[in-house]
């Protein structure tokens, strides 16, 4: 039965309250400085939010968890919302799918781009713009040699040879300083760092240590190059943030404009599930957004933040955070600009969620496989005919749609005659040209294909960096490491589409190669037979038929055709030099 206000007995202390059903399902999670007063407001005759009557009618009980302070209640509320995903709470859409940049907790730290940061690592993000996060990582690796994989100090890896890694096998003593430089840049302390480096360069120059001065000079240039990229990262623009919100139904777009000394530098866009209360939506976003990043000195919001949020921000920053709802002047103009951008973004999000069948297919496939997303799929297939014209191909799906500019064909160069070794060669060649890993690497085959490619990826030290699966045609069964075979239903249509597209593409390439080989002159492949000698042969024997019927001795009588070339000609035409 619906919860009764007379049966609710909560203390006048800070904490978290949960509206629950009789089956234990959590419908709503909230926080309060005084639990008894906050929950009593839900039973007022004129509720301040449209969703309250439905929430109260569906709930059978209200539980509470008392916390020492309102700030800790905010943290607990966020954790419970993530765990239970309540029906009536505003929350970030797909909050687990945004990537972080991470420095691992190791003797020689690695930099990582990941959606699942390792324990004890230092992280920056989450980044709504995944491309921006990757660009930051690439710049830090290029200029400071921060390693990106656990090479265990082994000498001779490709990254060290091309200057992307200056780790323990290259410069163990100088590597910690490089990591500290990267950490300062990610923390937004590039100005202080540049001043320190300038002093160090001047000191080295005065001491006539010109080589060291040149190294520091190059480091200064690298830092300036990195901070000039204007990458979307709130840690780099900490002066003021303006938050704008636009709503369509239960979909909201939250835009954060990052401004430095009044100049807009960048914009973050976050989709949210909106439950009818703008104050709750904004406060929920602020709690999520600034959990892993330092809050700005000035925060401009469309409505006042809920109880305890401002104090939590100041605790996160370690100093005063000025939260305002500006009504006039330049700050109000900046805040309204954020709203205008949010209006544009929510329209795009609504059209994208309702109009893209391909994206829906990709999202359905991600849910089926238990992945965060399936927006980037690469699929491989092989083709041959009795050992001739051995070829392979890879196709790419972006957001469920074929990205045909990224399709690739491969002619097998090794002596492998079976599909497994041919596919291993092709995948190995593909790996060497990648600067972006897919969400899924799909193989046309079964468990044996998956095992073979796993060995290849392990040899290249990339196993585990992206999901790998094999799709067998029989009953459309998917094989993955550590998972039971899965027979696809309609939610796996994006995988079937990728496999069929790879099959179509590789077969078209194979037919093209076979057609070309039937039209080729067999004599064109004979080593040492140029145009002039070919003309001599034609004149001597009166045409192609005469050449084909000539014996080895007859071929040697042609001017310019020696014994070795005659033997090669005869072998090419008849399969034997004698």
User: Which of 227, 252, 287 is the last residue in one of the domains?
Assistant: 227
DSSP result, 255-270 = EEEEEETTEEEEEEEE
Judge if the upstream peptide bond of residue 126 is cis by omega within 30 degrees of 0.
Answer: yes
Q: Indicate the SS3 state at residue 554.
A: helix
Residues 313 and 208: their CA atoms lie apart, in Å, by: 48
| Enclosing H/E stretch for 16 | strand 15-20
pLDDT value at residue 578: 45
Q: Which of 354, 388, 406 is the last residue of a domain?
A: 354
Instruction: Give the pTM.
Output: 0.39
- Pair 111, 147: CB distance under 8 Å: yes
* Residue 296, helix vs strand vs coil: coil
Query: Residue 231: what pLDDT?
Result: 34
Tell me how many domains the chain contains.
Answer: 5
For residue 319, what are the CA distances in angstroms to 188, 231, 233, 279? Answer: 16, 25, 20, 24
Which residues span the domain enclosing 76?
Answer: 5-88
Helix segments in 390-528, DSSP class H? 419-431, 447-459, 493-519
Q: Which of 327, 354, 381 is the last residue of a domain?
A: 354
Looking at the structure, do residues 383 and 346 belong to the same domain, yes or no? no
Whether residue 513 sits in one domain with residue 528: no
- 214 and 252 fall within a common domain: no
B/e letters for 171-200, b = 16+ CB within 10 Å, e = fewer, are: eeeebeebbebbbbbbbbebeebbeebeeb
61: helix, strand or coil: strand
Same domain for 492 and 373? yes
| pLDDT given at position 96 | 46
- 307 and 439 within one domain: no
Instruction: Give residues with Cβ within 8 angstroms of 576, minimum separation 6.
Output: 570
**Distance between CA 93 and CA 409 in Å, rounded?**
38
Q: Is residue 94 part of a domain?
A: no
Q: How many helices (H) and strands (E) does the chain have?
A: 19, 20
Task: Report pLDDT for 263.
Answer: 54
Say if strands 298-300 and 322-324 run parallel, antiparallel, or are unpaired: parallel
Calculate the alpha carbon distances from 306 to 33, 87, 320 in Å: 10, 20, 17
Tens of pLDDT, residues 148-195: 776 655 555 766 666 677 777 777 788 888 888 888 777 766 676 678
* Same structural domain, 395 and 496: yes
CATH code (residue 78): 3.40.1440.10
Q: Do 417 and 498 share a domain, yes or no?
A: yes
C-beta separation of 240 from 300 below 8 A: yes
Cα–Cα dist 456/453, whole Å: 5
Q: Read out DSSP for 367-414?
A: HHHT-S--SEEEEEEEEEETTEEEEEEEEEEETTEE-GGG-EEEE--S
User: What per-residue confidence (pLDDT) applies to 355?
Assistant: 46
DSSP labels, 195-231: HHHHHHHHHHHHTT-HHHHHHHHHHHHHHHHHHTT--
Which residues are CB-contacts of 6 (< 8 A; sequence separation ≥ 6)? none
Residues of the chain with pLDDT under 50: 95-96, 228-238, 355, 518-519, 577-578
In a shared domain, residues 61 and 77 = yes
The residues, any chain, with a CB within 8 Å of residue 569's CB and separated by 6 or more, are 523, 526, 529, 547, 555, 561
Same domain, 252 and 350: yes
174 part of a folded domain: yes
Whether residue 383 sits in one domain with residue 369 = yes
Q: How far apart are CA 19 and CA 4, in angstroms?
A: 12
């Amino acid at each position: 039965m619906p919860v009764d206000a007379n049966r609710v007995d909560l203390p006048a202390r800070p904490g978290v309250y949960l509206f629950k059903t009789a089956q234990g399902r959590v419908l709503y999670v909230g926080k309060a400085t005084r639990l008894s007063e906050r929950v009593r407001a839900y039973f007022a005759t004129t509720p301040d939010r449209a969703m309250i009557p439905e929430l109260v009618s569906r709930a059978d009980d209200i539980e509470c968890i008392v916390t020492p302070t309102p700030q800790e209640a905010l943290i607990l509320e966020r954790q419970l919302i993530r765990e239970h995903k309540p029906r009536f709470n505003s929350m970030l859409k797909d909050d687990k799918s945004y990537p972080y940049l991470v420095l691992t907790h190791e003797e020689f730290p690695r930099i990582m781009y990941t959606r699942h940061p390792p324990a004890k690592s230092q992280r920056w993000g989450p980044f709504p713009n995944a491309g921006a996060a990757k660009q930051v990582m690439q710049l830090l690796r290029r200029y400071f040699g921060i390693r990106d994989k656990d090479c265990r100090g082994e000498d001779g890896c490709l990254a060290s040879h091309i200057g992307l890694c200056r780790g323990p096998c290259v410069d163990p003593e100088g590597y910690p300083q490089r990591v500290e430089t990267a950490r300062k840049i990610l923390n937004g302390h590039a100005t202080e760092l540049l001043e320190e480096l300038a002093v160090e360069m001047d000191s080295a120059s005065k001491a006539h240590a010109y080589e060291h001065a040149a190294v520091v000079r190059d480091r200064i240039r690298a830092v300036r190059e990195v901070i000039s990229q204007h990458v979307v990262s709130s840690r780099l623009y900490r002066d003021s943030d303006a938050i704008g919100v636009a709503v369509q139904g239960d979909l909201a777009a939250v835009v954060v404009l990052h401004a430095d000394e009044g100049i807009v530098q960048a914009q973050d866009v976050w989709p949210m599930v909106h439950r009818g209360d703008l104050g709750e939506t904004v406060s929920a976003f602020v709690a999520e957004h600034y959990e892993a990043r330092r809050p700005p000195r000035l925060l401009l919001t469309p409505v006042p933040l809920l109880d305890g949020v401002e104090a939590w921000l100041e605790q996160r920053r370690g100093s005063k955070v000025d939260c305002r709802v500006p009504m006039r002047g330049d700050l109000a103009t900046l805040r309204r600009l954020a709203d205008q951008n949010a209006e544009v973004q929510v329209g795009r999000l609504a059209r994208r969620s309702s109009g893209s069948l391909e994206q829906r297919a990709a999202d359905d496939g991600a849910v089926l496989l238990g992945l965060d997303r399936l927006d980037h799929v690469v699929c491989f297939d092989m083709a041959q005919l009795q050992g001739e014209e051995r070829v392979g191909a890879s196709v790419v799906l972006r957001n469920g749609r074929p990205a045909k500019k990224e399709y690739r064909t491969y002619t097998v160069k090794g002596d492998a005659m079976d599909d497994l070794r041919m596919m291993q060669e092709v995948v190995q060649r593909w790996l060497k040209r990648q600067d972006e890993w897919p969400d899924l690497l799909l193989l046309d085959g079964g468990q044996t294909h998956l095992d073979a490619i796993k060995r290849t990826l392990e040899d290249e030290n990339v196993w585990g960096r992206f999901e790998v699966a094999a799709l067998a045609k029989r009953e459309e069964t998917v094989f993955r490491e550590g998972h039971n075979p899965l027979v696809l239903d309609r939610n796996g249509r994006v995988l079937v589409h990728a496999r069929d597209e790879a099959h179509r593409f590789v077969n078209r390439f194979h037919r093209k190669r076979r057609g070309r080989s039937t039209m080729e002159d067999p004599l064109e492949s004979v080593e040492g037979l140029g145009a002039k000698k070919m003309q001599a042969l034609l004149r001597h024997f009166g045409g192609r038929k005469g050449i084909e019927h000539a014996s080895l001795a007859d071929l040697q009588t042609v001017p310019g055709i020696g014994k070795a070339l005659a033997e090669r000609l005869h072998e090419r035409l008849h399969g034997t030099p004698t």
